[in-house]
């Protein structure tokens, strides 16, 4: 049995760190873990996808269309873009945060404001979590990713692990406190 998770967002949102923390914990729990991140030009404001698979035995690290058990989207339009990857019956956790791409900013394209409603209609199992708002209230929008991590942990049923210890060891020292609070908020949402 392999579980496949796709994390998607925009360069700078911290999807890669989130995947790193998640995979460290899964490895610590004794699973075989593989993650794949394609970076390069994409870090300049483009879409960033990281893919994580865990189970008893994992071969390829990447996830094909219709194969993701869980999609964690850090941005609304990216949740819609990732939809083809969702397995039938799979779940989407998403932040309704909107980040406009350049074609939208300069008026060449329309932003899909109702992407969350559309996803609910098409796919069904959607949790919209206001992670960026919650993180901002806690003091920094940058903790959005760790807030989503909390929601992910809950969705995967992996609460029985010392997540707080791991997060504290993996985020910048100055941000430990806010990240722990963001994690708890995501877990409780």
> Which segment (82-90, 152-160, 169-177, 180-188) binds other proteins by CB under 8 A?
82-90
Instruction: Identify the bridge partners of residue 167 per DSSP, sorted by sequence position.
Output: none
Residue matched to tokens 């083809």: 84
> How many of the other CB atoms lie within 10 Å of CB of 10?
20
Alpha helices in the chain (DSSP H): 15-28, 76-82, 102-105, 115-122, 131-138, 144-156, 163-170, 176-188
Least separation in angstroms between CB 54 and other proteins:
11
168: three-class secondary structure by DSSP: helix
Nearest one of 33, 2, 1, 9 to 149, comparing CA atoms? 9
> Which segment (78-86, 151-159, 169-177, 181-189) binds other proteins by CB under 8 A?
78-86
* Closer residue to other proteins in complex, CB, 169/188: 169
Residue 184 as a binder of other proteins (CB under 8 A): the answer is: no
Question: Which residue from 64, 127, 139, 165 is in contact with other proteins, where contact means CB under 8 A?
Answer: 64
Residues of this chain that interact with other proteins (CB under 8 A) are 10-12, 20, 23-24, 27, 32-47, 58-62, 64-67, 77-78, 80-81, 83-88, 100-112, 114-115, 118-119, 122-123, 141
């Amino acid at each position: 049995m392999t579980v496949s998770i796709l994390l998607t967002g925009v360069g700078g949102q911290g999807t890669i760190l989130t995947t790193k923390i998640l995979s460290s914990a899964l490895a610590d729990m004794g699973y075989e873990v593989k993650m794949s991140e394609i970076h390069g030009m994409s870090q300049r404001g483009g879409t960033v996808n990281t893919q994580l698979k865990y189970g008893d035995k994992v071969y390829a690290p990447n996830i094909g269309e219709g194969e993701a058990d869980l999609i964690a989207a850090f941005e609304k339009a990216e949740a819609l873009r990732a939809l083809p990857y969702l397995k039938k019956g799979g779940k989407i956790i998403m932040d309704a945060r909107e980040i406009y791409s350049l074609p939208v900013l300069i008026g060449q394209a329309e932003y899909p404001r109702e992407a969350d409603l559309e996803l609910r209609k098409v796919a069904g199992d959607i949790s919209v979590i206001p992670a960026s708002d919650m993180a901002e209230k806690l003091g920094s929008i940058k903790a959005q990713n760790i807030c989503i991590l909390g929601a992910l942990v809950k969705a995967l049923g992996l609460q029985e692990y010392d997540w707080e210890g791991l997060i504290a060891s993996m985020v910048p020292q100055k941000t430990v406190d806010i990240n722990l609070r963001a994690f708890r908020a995501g877990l409780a949402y």
